[in-house]
Amino acid sequence: MSTIVARQPLPESRSSTGFRLAMLLPGGLVTFFLILFALGLVVFLALRSNDGSLLGAGFTFANFITVASDPLYWTVTLRSLAIAGLVTLATVVTAYPVAYYLAFHAGRRRGLLLFLVTLPFWTSYLLRVFAWKIVLAYNGVLNSALIESGIWSEPTLAFLNTPAAVVVTLAHAYAPFAILPIYVALDTIPKSLLEVASDLGARPFTSFRRVVLPNSMPGVLAAALVVFVPTVGDYVTPALVGGPASTMIGSLIQAQFGKANDWPFGAALAVAVMLVILAVVLVVRSADRRFGSRI
Amino acid sequence: MSVARIDAKQGGRWLGAYVLVYLVFLYLPVLLIPLFSFNDSIQAAFPLQGFTFEWYKTLSGNSALSGALVNSLVIGAIAATGATLCGITVSYMDLFGRSPLAATISAIARLPILIPGVIIGISLLILVNLIGFGPSRTAIVLGHILVALPTTVVIMKSRFAAIPKTIREAALDLGASDWTTFRRVMLPLSLPAIVSAFMLAFLTSFDEFIVAFFLAGTEPTLPLYIWSQLRFPKSLPTVMALGTAILAVSFVIAAIAEILRHRGLAAVRRPVPANLSKPEETERGELQWHST
């Protein structure tokens, strides 16, 4: 593998323009047209006033002023952030030990376990949310199981249609998202590093805190991001298990494009969500850099 | 040293127990759906009533359902083809294209993972209305290509990166054009990953709801059909029967995709020169590569 060869750059003539063009075309069309241009349209529409037409009329900041000044949108945005933050925290904290076991203890069962924890990721999200509705409903599994086993005598309404139901359901739905990046980060830590720590007299917890945890932070941050982003814009789970007290910003965007039929305002809400996500991404990246330098 | 090892072993046992509990948490709610799909009661509650196939019977002969199923299959197949094609070309050019444009395209192609589904949905809704064809099956296909794109790019990129660089360089040095190298060397070598990427993209599309919700015209996909049924308590058992069928098919497809992906990676890790050094294997001018 370590043969030293004087590398000559391949002659340019070999890379035909036709080849490059054909290979760049599908991805180029999709990324520039469907992603950049489409997102640009959202920003454009957010700056228009609603006159019922597709692209609105006249440029205005009115949509953004409403988003920023109406306390309703602050409440819902902060609630979305709180719920998404709680979901992210719960998911990452519960997923970490699983990833740790996979990386350091699973041995030959690793492949099977990895498959088992990622499998639910490929099954219908809608069905997973629906499953929690079955569990938490007034006539549901949890209530009927509690009464059958004699723990409670009356079914309770306290499970369904609460922010807590939203957090549990989303933490369940996005669990596989969190395990994989943390596992990958843990798996790349050289085992020799742990032996060194132990030889130098570090107790297991100390070497976890000083060696394993900091080195796995890039994975933890990546996991946090891939859980947070879809969660903050979700509108299915709040609609199915959340009740009115857990309306999230995704539900408001959906309503503007549906019933309310005020697309420019819905677009402004979407831009606000993207700004929030951008802020989170920037914070995570700066944290990532700090941890990156410690490795 | 030995004390530490015993500690680690015990820690491992506790962690193992935790992983078991976690798996129960992961699977128990989902497994309730098949359980209640055979339960002879409208209510999904304990104690279980009699065993019945009633809800499965109501599935057959439902034209709205079969229409939605066909839509999902067609949309899934086209979207997965598109996403896989983009995943292959984007990651190939990112790794071997040596151009800033290819790197930019690759970076943007992985961006949809940082965009919530609701925003992908509305941005494409505005776009397809602007183009003129509006919400339709085509619109959902475009949406699902976007949703599946990060997955296919990541799978294909890790696969191309795992193929030793020397193989591609050898092909180019032996006079194969870029096209020939791509088509007869790199594509066959990455075939298991391509199939895996396709299947996972298909599953993503088949199960996707949030984006499709905005882009559906008059013909719903299967998740949209399920969503429309969730409002009626009487149809919930049937939804669970349908859900059971979907879960079973999804599990099987995901399992096959996973096996293919691993088989592909294992084939790459095998010593390369053993195959390449035999001249008789390349006498027809192509590299035979058996990834069994």
Q: What are phi and psi of A21, to 5 degrees?
A: -65, -50
Residue A101 half-sphere exposure toward CB, CA atoms < 13 A:
26
Does the distance separating the beta carbons of A117 and B26 come in below 8 Å?
A: yes
Indicate if the pLDDT at residue A293 is higher than 50.
no
Does the distance separating the beta carbons of A94 and B230 come in below 8 Å?
A: no
What's the pLDDT score for residue B267? 62
- Tell me if chain B has a CB within 8 Å of the CB of A87: no
Indicate if the pLDDT at residue B272 is higher than 80.
no
Name the pLDDT band for A54 (thresholds 50, 70, 90). Answer: confident
pTM of the model: 0.85
Nearest to A247 by CA among A161, A172, A175, A127: A161
* Contact between B64 and B72 (Cβ < 8 Å): no
Nearest to B25 by CA among A122, A27, A90: A90
pLDDT digits (tens, 9 = 90+) for A185-195: 898 888 888 88
Lowest mean pLDDT among A201-205, A253-257, B129-133, B162-166: A201-205
Name the β-bridge partners of A49.
A57
Sign of CA dihedral A149, A151, A156, A158: negative
- Tally Cβ neighbours within 10 Å of residue A250: 30
Distance CA B247, CA A123 (A): 6
What's the pLDDT score for residue B275? 42
Q: What angle do CA B238, B239, B240 make, to 5 degrees?
A: 90
Name the pLDDT band for A286 (thresholds 50, 70, 90). Answer: confident
Q: Which of A125, A199, A250 minimises the CB distance to B207?
A: A125
Q: Which of B16, B223, B262 minimises the CB distance to A124?
A: B223
Indicate if the pLDDT at residue A108 is higher than 70.
yes
Lowest mean pLDDT among A145-159, A261-275, B8-22: A145-159
Q: What are phi and psi of A161, to 5 degrees?
A: 60, 45
Residue A161, min C-alpha distance to chain B (Å): 15
Of B156 and B232, the structure prediction assigns the larger pLDDT to B156
What's the pLDDT score for residue B266? 66
Nearest to A181 by CA among A91, A279, A105: A91
Indicate if the pLDDT at residue A295 is higher than 50.
no
Residue with tokens 């391509």: B194
What's the pLDDT score for residue B269? 58
Does the distance separating the beta carbons of B85 and A42 come in below 8 Å?
A: no
Instruction: List the 101-130 stretch of A: residues with Cβ below 8 A of B.
Output: 101, 104-105, 111, 113, 115-120, 122-128, 130
> How far is C-alpha B150 from the chain's CA centre?
10
Indicate if the pLDDT at residue B268 is higher than 50.
yes
Name the pLDDT band for B283 (thresholds 50, 70, 90). Answer: very low
Name the β-bridge partners of B51.
B39
- Tell me if chain A has a CB within 8 Å of the CB of B111: yes
Token pair of B261 as six digits? 């992906």
Give the list of residues 6+ apart from residue A109 with CB closer than 8 angstroms, or none: none
The secondary structure element, H or E, covering residue A59 is strand A57-59
What's the pLDDT score for residue B270? 52
Which amino acid appears at position A84 of this protein? A
- Tell me if chain B has a CB within 8 Å of the CB of A23: yes
- Tell me if chain A has a CB within 8 Å of the CB of B22: yes
Interface confidence (ipTM) of the complex:
0.87
Q: Which of A36, A229, A236 minimises the CB distance to B209?
A: A236
Read off the pLDDT of each residue in B27-55 and give the average, rounded to a whole number.
80
Indicate if the pLDDT at residue A239 is higher than 80.
yes
What's the pLDDT score for residue A228? 93
> How far is C-alpha A70 from the chain's CA centre?
27
pLDDT digits (tens, 9 = 90+) for A137-158: 877 777 777 887 777 777 777 7
Nearest to B91 by CA among B143, B147, B150, B172: B150
Of A214 and A37, the structure prediction assigns the larger pLDDT to A37
Let me know how long chain A is.
295
Sign of CA dihedral B124, B129, B133, B136: positive
Q: Which of B101, B118, B146 minimises the CB distance to A24?
A: B101
Give the list of residues 6+ apart from residue B35 with CB closer than 8 angstroms, or none: B48
> How far is C-alpha A84 from the chain's CA centre?
9
Indicate if the pLDDT at residue B39 is higher than 60.
yes
Q: What are phi and psi of B47, to 5 degrees?
A: -75, 155
Q: Which of A28, A55, A281 minimises the CB distance to B105?
A: A28
Lowest mean pLDDT among A83-92, A194-203, B278-287: B278-287
Which amino acid appears at position A18 of this protein? G
Percent of chain A exceeding pLDDT 70 equals: 94
pLDDT digits (tens, 9 = 90+) for B202-248: 989 998 999 999 999 888 999 999 999 888 888 888 888 988 988 88
Does the distance separating the beta carbons of A120 and B30 come in below 8 Å?
A: yes
Of B191 and A3, the structure prediction assigns the larger pLDDT to B191
Does the distance separating the beta carbons of A254 and B243 come in below 8 Å?
A: no
Mean pLDDT, rounded, of chain B: 83
Does the distance separating the beta carbons of A253 and B119 come in below 8 Å?
A: yes
What's the pLDDT score for residue B210? 92
Instruction: List the 261-280 stretch of A: residues with Cβ below 8 A of B.
Output: 263, 266-267, 270, 273-274, 277
Lowest mean pLDDT among A277-291, B13-27, B272-286: B272-286
